[in-house]
Each structure stands twice: as C-alpha cells, then as structure tokens.
Amino acid sequence: MPEDAAAPGRPMRADARRNAEKIVAAAGALIAEHGADASLEEVARRAGVGSATLHRHFPSRQVLLEAVFKDRVAALCAKADDLLAQLPPGQALSAWLHAVAAHAVTHRGLGAALMRDGDPALGETCHDMITTAGDALLARARAVDAVRPGITTARLLKLVGAIALATEREHDGPAEADALLTIAIDGVRTR
C-alpha cells in the first residue's frame, strides 16, 4: 500500500487499509480484463469507493499500478520458494516459468506501462526480485543436470516475456501461453 496514505510514523486506520486493499484488488481484476489503461473510475466503482478515496490512496495511475505490480511480484517470488521446497528442481523451474507466463498474460500491459511511465527504481526492484527467484530455481535445476548448459535466467525470462506478449490479447491467452511455454521448456531440458 502507498506509504503516503497515512501520516509518517502512524499506521493506516483499519478502514483506510481495507479500502486501499479493495482498490488494489479491483485494479488487478480490471487490468486482467482491459489492460493497464483500465478506467480509474471503474476501479473505484468495483472497489465500492468514491473517486476521491481512490485518489487519496493512489494520487496517480502510476502509484496504483505500482501497488498492483509489487504485490503480484512478491507473490510470484514467494511461489518460487514454495516450489523449491515441494518439487524436484527441474519441475520446480518449469512450474515457476509457467506461473511467470500466467502472471504476465493475466496482467496485460502492466509491466510495460510501469517501465514506460513509472519509476525506473520500482521496475528494477521488481525485475531484481524476479531474477533472484529465477536464479535460485535455475541453480538447483543445473545442480541436478535438469537443464542444458548455456541456459540463463535472463534468457528464460525473455522467452516467457515473448510468449506472454504474443498471447496476451488472445481470447484464451493464458492457455495458449501455457501450451507454447511447454513446447519451449522441452528445449531447455537436458537430453
């Protein structure tokens, strides 16, 4: 949540925190439906708050997009840790790449909007978080010889990003991205 929604050093009131959470949830849903240029008025309506409340918590579209994106990236990175604990390394890497693709397709245009209009520091922080999570998964997969030599996290993320971009506007984009990524991952595995 934006830190400026409460006075510095003072926690946000419970009702204000709930409103901010509802706004972020509604914005996430609308971005999935309409892309990063979704209507702020519709975000407020779906969250059940007035436009003034939305703007009090999120003074610009950019601040709202950052709140949506940062929460989603943190969840994506936490999923990497969970997968490392639950699956063999090669399967964990594959499952996480599928989660990254689903994330990218579901949040149509969000990453691009942040990079185009946003604070580059946020984009770099989120990119670093994703890369760090991918590096941990790839290192474990490499240690058990589950991936071919020369595979890097950067290349895997570019591949996932390209697939997401190619499918994000399709009617069943997540399913198509998943199918294409399955084909691509087969080429990543050792023979």
Question: What does the pLDDT look like over 131-141, one tens digit per residue?
Answer: 999 999 999 99
- 165 and 149: one domain? yes
Query: What pLDDT shows up at residue 91?
Result: 96
Domain extent for 118 = 62-188
Closest CA to 35 of 164, 131, 154: 164
154 and 73 within one domain: yes
Does residue 100 sit in the same domain as residue 162? yes
* pLDDT tens digit sequence for 141-185: 999 999 999 999 999 988 988 898 888 778 888 899 899 999 999
d(CA 90, CA 97): 11
Looking at the fold, whether 78 and 144 belong to one and the same domain comes out as: yes
**C-alpha pair distances (Å), 10 with each of 7, 18, 32, 119:** 5, 16, 33, 25
Q: How many domains does the chain have?
A: 2
Q: Could you tell me the pTM of the whole model?
A: 0.73
| 53 & 66 share domain | no
Q: Are residues 51 and 129 in the same domain?
A: no
CATH number at residue 18: 1.10.10
pLDDT digits (tens, 9 = 90+) for 59-112: 988 888 888 888 788 999 999 999 999 999 999 999 999 999 988 887 766 666
